[in-house]
Amino acid sequence: MGIPAASRLRATFRGARMNHTTDAFGAPNQSRVGRGRDWPVPLIGLCLSAAVLAYFLLLDRAVFFTRGFSPIFDVLLAVLDAHAVWLGTLIAFLAFSWRRAEPVRTLAGLVGRHPVLVAAVAVVALAFGSVSVYHDYPLAMDEYAAVFQAKIFASGHLVGYLPPYLVKWLITPGFNGVFLFASPITGRVVEAYWPGFALLLAPFERLGVPWLCNPLLAGVGLYFIHRITLEITRDRVAAGFAILFSAASGAYVANAISFYSMQAHLTANLLYAWLLMAPSRGRALGAGFVGSLALILHNPFPHMLFALPWGIASLVDRDRRRFLVPLIAGYLPLSVVGGIGWFRLRGQIGADLHRAGGSLVAAFRLPDAVMWNARVAGFAKLWVWAVPCLLVFAVLGLMRWRSDRHVRLLAWSALVTFFGYFFVVFDQGHGWGNRYFHSAWGVLPILAACAFAGERAADERLTAFAGAATVLSLVLLVPYQLYQIDGFIGRHLAQIPAPKRPGNDVFFVSPAGGFYIGDMIQNDPELRDPDLRMFSYGPRRDAALVHRFWPHAVEVDWGPFGEEWNLGPVDRRVRPPGASSPRFVFPPAPPANSVRPAGGVTPPR
């Protein structure tokens, strides 16, 4: 007779074991699941691969639609992902024909015995990818906002300052109050998101290597994926599988070379879970501190969802209840200073914009048809950007190790995160893979690796299939998705011509002149870059502004993107006293001729 659902739920959080025996290491022995049940797993993987392919074939033709999606989400899904899914499906069918498991176990064992070395190699490779594939460029405004704030922190300041009368030119209208908060009265500016990731990124900005931050976090993440798997299974081959599943998944690689905060979320949540797996007062205090950092990385929702099952478990389990006080104490300092304090600072600047960041409640509601379609699309992206059939392996690992309390808690964290976003009104917009789920993505390779631990590692057919899918994904699918990312960013950057040298250029960018070209209005918070990018208010107003400050500037290019002005052969930036680098310096108030510019051009308002 099965265990009632309520009893099973209580067992999850109280740590009670279901019927099982243990091996020599005290890990659950799942030998009761007969070998005869293993043969359908690769076949199930093939069927689901075909089903995901069918989703893309039906998209906007029947049942599933992109109507109501943001344009960028539509393009990434219906173009890039719709191409990659064919390769992923082909890999699944090729892997089905592979029969040799021993080379796979040998590779996994080698990786499992040297996790630090593998992680270090991954950091180097990912750092190279961040520069060469991702162009060392924050593509989306979500990425730029964190980079912008990190530069402010790296310069030793809490807030940045822009000339108040140039705020409307230096920040795309509509983005002020959404991605950045810049006062047109005082010129003070901060990012709109919470500042945790910017704090992590700041030392790398200071050293001039911002492209190294996420690759380093990804390397740490690989180590904790290995560590958690090893502590659950006591099997280094399984732990090696967990690293291989991660490194061969496009979602893990792409987020690791980007400037998104999601890699920091993933790594912080893994560390949080690892600390709570064998809690002491010190580890609970540390978990609280890590959790508080995760809360303020960019917004608290991802970590709240991930941590919810662990918090409930601490409340329900009498033995672990004594760790609640140090856990909460660890959360408090950064949550108060970095969360509540930042919210107040942002609100002060937002008051000058007649807004305070919008209503939090407005971001949530019961899902409608568009939201349902967005979440189905999110599942498809989750599949396409992982090792083919990784989700099947994860479900199998959960089934085999469901008697392990930590496996259940990890699974609950993943499920709560996935379904929690069903009530978020937005699709994810930009992002590689299912960006909303990425904070819990590290659970998938851990659960999947559990399917190959202990006696179950003897399943020749399944091991061969999983190993072949992983290796082919690493050498075919991930490079193809990196090629897609490189091409997409390259085409995006090509919408604006290259700067003319020598000297400095000012670009006036018209958002109507390209696809998300308004996102390219990115400036250093201290205006230290050799060129400026400004919002275009039309050729006459743009010309009036540039001549106001640089009378001898010459327009050197124009087109749908806007206009490009060269300021002459001499660098127009200056180095203020005490400054370490040159920058554009503007007077505290606009020049007198800006009141009535020549030719009757209307000054900026």
- Tell me the C-alpha distance between 153 and 525, whole Å: 10
Average pLDDT, the chain: 90
Name the token pair of 32. Answer: 């009761």
Tell me the pLDDT band of 259, cut-offs 50, 70 and 90. very high
Burial of residue 376, with CB atoms counted within 10 A of its CB: 0-12 exposed, 13-18 middle, 19 or more buried: middle
The pLDDT of 416-420, averaged and rounded, is 97
Q: Is the dihedral of CA 122, 126, 127, 129 positive or negative?
A: positive
Contact 250, 387 (CB under 8 A): no
The yes-or-no verdict on residue 103 having pLDDT over 80 is: yes
Q: What is the mean pLDDT of residues 548-557?
A: 95
pLDDT higher at 574 or 29: 574
Counting every residue, how long is the chain? Answer: 605
pLDDT at 580: 86
Nearest-angstrom CA–CA distance, 492 and 455 = 50
Q: What is the DSSP letter of 585?
A: -
As to burial, measured by CB atoms within 10 angstroms (0-12 exposed, 13-18 middle, 19+ buried), residue 63 is: exposed
Residue 24 confidence (pLDDT): 33
Tens of pLDDT, residues 79-96:
999 999 999 999 999 999
SS3 label, residue 416: helix
What percent of the chain clears pLDDT 70, i.e. is strictly above it?
89
pLDDT at position 474 over 90: yes
What is the predicted pLDDT for the residue at 605? 32
Residue 383 pLDDT class (50, 70, 90 cuts): very high
Kindly report, residue by residue over 336-381, the tens digit of the pLDDT.
Answer: 888 889 989 998 998 877 654 455 678 889 999 999 999 999 999 9
Q: Model confidence over 166-175: pLDDT tens digits?
A: 999 999 999 9
Identify which has the larger pLDDT, 577 or 73.
73
What confidence tier does 458 reach under pLDDT thresholds 50, 70, 90?
A: low
**On the CB side of 501, how many CA atoms lie within 13 Å of its CA?**
2
pLDDT band at 4 (very low <50, low <70, confident <90, very high): very low
Reduced to 3 states, what is the DSSP secondary structure of residue 345? helix
